[in-house]
Chain A
Amino acid sequence: MARKRTLDVALGTTTLDPRGMPTTVPLGFESPEGEGLEGAPDLGGEHMLINIGPQHPATHGVLRLVVELDGEVVVRAIPHVGYLHSGFEKLGEYRHYNQIVPLTDRMDYLAPMSNNVCLAMAVERLMGLEITERCKVLRVIACEISRIISHLVWIGTTGIDLGALTPFLWMFQEREKFYNLQEAWTGARLTTTLTRVGGLMADVPDGFEDGVLANCRSLLKVMAEVDRALTRNGIWAGRTQGIGVLTAEEATNMSLSGPMLRASGVDYDVRKDRPYLDYETYDFEVPIGEHGDVYDRYLVRFEEILQSVRILEQAVDRLPDGPINVDDPRVILPPKHAAMTDMESMIHHFKQVMEGVRVPAGEVYSPLEGPKGELAYYFVSDGTAKPVRWRVRPPAFINLSALPKMSEGHLLSDLIAINASVDIVMGEVDR
């Protein structure tokens, strides 16, 4: 068999020096034969190509990885994304602002409510609209429930990837309780479509606050058990410590965000550094890792759940009475009974539904700290009811772009752990 060659083409996975020149040598031109692990059979330097996904349980969706292996060591991992591309950004240009909300559900479908909040917040910033106090607190509750749900799924599925099935079942049990609350509030478990420009689709039902507190209590108990089952578990630590390390410098340079960035020791949390929804008035800590490996990402997410519980307790405590929507007929639909009996309300209702919310010309980049990282919607408006451009800054997409760099030189089985640690949702990566 002829010795395999690779074209002298720099792929995205090559590292670059400051001049932009690739620093790794193309395959077939590297070190002479026979070099490698001691005692390993001499494969004559032949590399193997394996394809993982797009239909593979460990890729968390329709991610496809083409991996070049030297024995069991990953030489290069080439992610292929786009299998779930739905053209949401294009669709958004043909819709009224409130009609975009359902599209946001379907992006990060593990945390739909924080996507909804992000959209409403961006449009309100563009319009200079000040939302009511109750709405602000309810949106904080929505964001933090999303974070908890998303991180619970992350710990569960990452556990499965590394061979720990039990935490998955515990986590899903807890997640189910929050889903019940979500369903009671919005009528849907997954596609919540919670927010409207200027407010919310509905106020919380009776007993919601008590439900949140009860869930928090049971969640803390389960988290204590997971802590005992995983955090000091020799297998868990052995599989995750020192794997997929990124330094603070690298993580910043690669534009990572969220737990991925903080695990590398960079203190950047949108909630603290570009506050929104009065997050600066809540008392909570931002956990920072120091090694930047998979284990630290686990610790950061674990601690974020506990901090979210703290925020939820404070939010429930301070939840004020009052309206959830701004008092402005140009953005908020009148109540149904008014639209049916009052001429003026009917006109407002008609114009709202047919013409949508008019947004003044301008542009806004509106970030929030989603469970995956810095989720931002960038809107450009030309003064009509439909955006000229709706850009989603997808945290999972940008975090995933660090995968080739993180997995270089690790074992194939570690690639699974590293991929899990990114916390991707393909709905958001591909949009």
Chain B
Amino acid sequence: MNPSAEALERQFGAAVRRVTESCGATIVYVDPARVREILAWLKDAPGEAYNYLADVTAVEYRDPDLPLEVVYELFSLPRRVGLRIKAALPKDGPLELDSVVPVWAGANWLEREVFDMFGVRFRGHPDLRRILMWETYAEGHPLRKDFPLRGRFSRSEQVRQALNANPEAHYSLEELGIADEYYELPEDVRERLQRGERGRIPESKGGR
């Protein structure tokens, strides 16, 4: 058992929910509301020095009653020790957490991927957009267990949407703002972009 687990319990008391072990790795379940505070402490406390955020991911179990877990894999470069921190988010509540980007810049894309794949929102993330799926993707969050392997829409519906896609939507509004192209767009397209119409899909006639 990693001694950091005990140190965490001493420091944060009830915010440390549970400590377990699997395959030699110590797993600490913490209060989702205090994740950023706890991770920042683990990074900066001299005896801990978990200065390397190896990975951020999430796990959803097959049992629908179990909460969704956001997993932080930490590693201490000076001490060569690893620690896994988990925050369990009950599925009946909002899937929201504080972002750790202010603590580790490397969490930026990792949290975006968790948002993209699981729909967990990270408060305070500077740029929480989809990353692997495209921005107008409307079928949901692919790694959720209720997401069917082939996607929510039928193949013909997916093809129809791809053909109907607005090519201008490949640039974000911010990017278009940099370029002349934005001002060369037709008035109505600009208006639709301004209204934030990206992300919406045309009315489906073909059914699911």
- The reply to whether B104 and A253 form a contact with Cβ atoms under 8 Å apart is yes
Task: State whether B127 touches A401 (Cβ < 8 A).
Answer: no
Residues of chain B in range 104-140 having any CB-CB distance to chain A below 8 Å:
104-110, 112-113, 117, 124, 126-127, 129-134
Q: Output the nearest chain B residue to A8 by Cβ-Cβ distance.
A: B174
Q: Is the CB of A9 within 8 A of B174?
A: yes
**Interface members, chain A 371-406 (any B CB < 8 Å):** 374, 376, 378, 380, 382, 388-389, 391, 393, 397-398, 400-401, 405
The answer for the CA separation of A266 and B77 in the assembled complex, in Å, is 9
Residue in B closest to A381 when the chains form the complex, CB atoms? B22
Docked complex Cα distance between A19 and B51 (Å): 18
Return chain B residues, CB-CB under 8 Å to A354.
Answer: none
Asked whether A255 lies within 8 Å of B133 as measured between CB atoms, the reply is no
CA separation between A10 and B171, bound complex, in Å?
A: 16
Of A14, A126, A252, which one neighbours B77 at CB under 8 angstroms?
A252
- Contact across chains for B109 and A1 when beta carbons are under 8 A apart: no
Q: Is B180 an interface residue (CB 8 A)?
A: yes
**Hey, which chain A residues are within 8 Å of B110, CB to CB?**
255, 398
Q: Are A401 and B133 in contact (CB under 8 A)?
A: no
Query: Which A residues are CB-close (under 8 A) to B105?
Result: 16, 250, 253-254, 405
> Is B143's beta carbon under 8 Å from chain A?
yes
Q: Hey, which chain B residues are within 8 Å of A391, CB to CB?
A: 55, 57, 59, 71
- Contact residues of A between 157 and 178, Cβ < 8 Å to B: none
Within the complex, which residue of B82, B117, B129, B132 is in contact with A430, where a contact is CB–CB below 8 Å? B132
Tell which of A22, A81, A254 touches B132, judged by Cβ atoms closer than 8 Å.
Answer: A81
For residue A222, which residues in chain B have a CB less than 8 angstroms away from its CB?
none
Q: Are A378 and B71 in contact (CB under 8 A)?
A: yes
Task: Kindly identify which residue among B82, B106, B113, B171 contacts A254, using a CB–CB cutoff of 8 Å.
Answer: B106
Interface contact A48-B126, CB-CB below 8 Å: no
Q: Shortest CB–CB separation between residue B2 and chain A, in angstroms?
A: 13
Chain A interface residue count: which class? 35 or more
Residue in B71, B99, B127 whose CB lies within 8 Å of A11: B127
Q: Are B23 and A364 in contact (CB under 8 A)?
A: yes
B48 in the interface (beta carbon within 8 A): no
* Contact residue among B23, B133, B175, B176 (Cβ-Cβ distance under 8 Å from A125): B23
Measured in the bound complex, the distance between the Cα atoms of B22 and A388 in whole Å is 15
Given the interface contacts A7-B174, A378-B71, does A255 sit within 8 Å of B132 by beta carbon? no
Identify the closest chain B residue to A46 (Cβ).
B180
Interface residues of B in 38-60 (CB under 8 A from A): 51-55, 57, 59-60
Query: Are B180 and A374 closer than 8 Å at their CB atoms?
Result: no
Inter-chain contacts of B54 with A (CB < 8 A): 255, 365, 367, 374, 376, 393
CA distance A391 to B118 in the complex (A): 13
Contact with B along A267-286 (1 / 0, CB 8 A): 01000011000000000000
Asked if B127 and A362 sit within 8 Å, CB to CB, the answer is: no
**Given A82-B131, A364-B23, also A5-B177 (CB < 8 A):** yes
A126 and B59 within 8 A (CB): no
Closest to A68 in B: B178
Interchain CB contact under 8 A, A388 and B61: yes
User: Given contacts A11-B126, A16-B126, A255-B53, is CB(A6)–CB(B134) below 8 Å?
Assistant: no
- With a CB–CB cut-off of 8 A, which chain B residues contact A388? 59, 61-62
| A256 CB-CB contact with B under 8 Å | yes
Q: Are the C-beta atoms of A389 and B131 separated by less than 8 Å? A: no
Query: Among A85-93, A290-298, A328-336, A344-352, which stretch is in contact with chain B?
Result: A85-93
| Least CB distance, B23 to chain A, in whole angstroms | 4
**Interfacial chain A residues near B142, Cβ < 8 Å:** 87, 90
A 1-29 to B, binary, CB cutoff 8 A, 1 in contact else 0? 11011110111101010111010000100
CB nearest to B55 among chain A residues: A393
| A12:B59 contact, CB within 8 angstroms | no
Q: For residue B179, which residue of chain A has the nearest CB?
A: A49
Are A82 and B174 in contact (CB-based, < 8 A)?
Answer: no
Q: Provide the residues of chain A in CB contact with B126, threshold 8 Å.
A: 10-12, 14, 16, 20, 22
Whole-angstrom distance between the Cβ of A36 and the nearest chain B Cβ: 17
B101, A20: Cβ atoms closer than 8 Å? yes
Question: What are 12 of the A-B contact pairs (CB < 8 Å)?
Answer: A4-B178, A9-B174, A10-B127, A11-B174, A27-B178, A47-B178, A89-B117, A255-B110, A363-B27, A378-B57, A389-B59, A401-B109
| Chain B contact residues, CB within 8 Å of chain A | 22-23, 25, 27, 51-55, 57, 59-62, 71, 73, 77, 80, 82, 84, 99, 101-102, 104-110, 112-113, 117, 124, 126-127, 129-134, 142-143, 147, 149, 171, 173-183
What is A's interface to B at a CB cutoff of 8 Å?
1-2, 4-7, 9-12, 14, 16, 18-20, 22, 27, 47-49, 66, 68, 78, 81-82, 85, 87, 89-91, 94, 125-126, 128, 250, 252-256, 266, 268, 273-274, 362-365, 367, 374, 376, 378, 380, 382, 388-389, 391, 393, 397-398, 400-401, 405, 430-431
Pairs of residues from A and B, 6 with the lowest C-beta to C-beta distance, nearest first? A255-B106, A49-B179, A12-B127, A20-B102, A401-B109, A82-B132
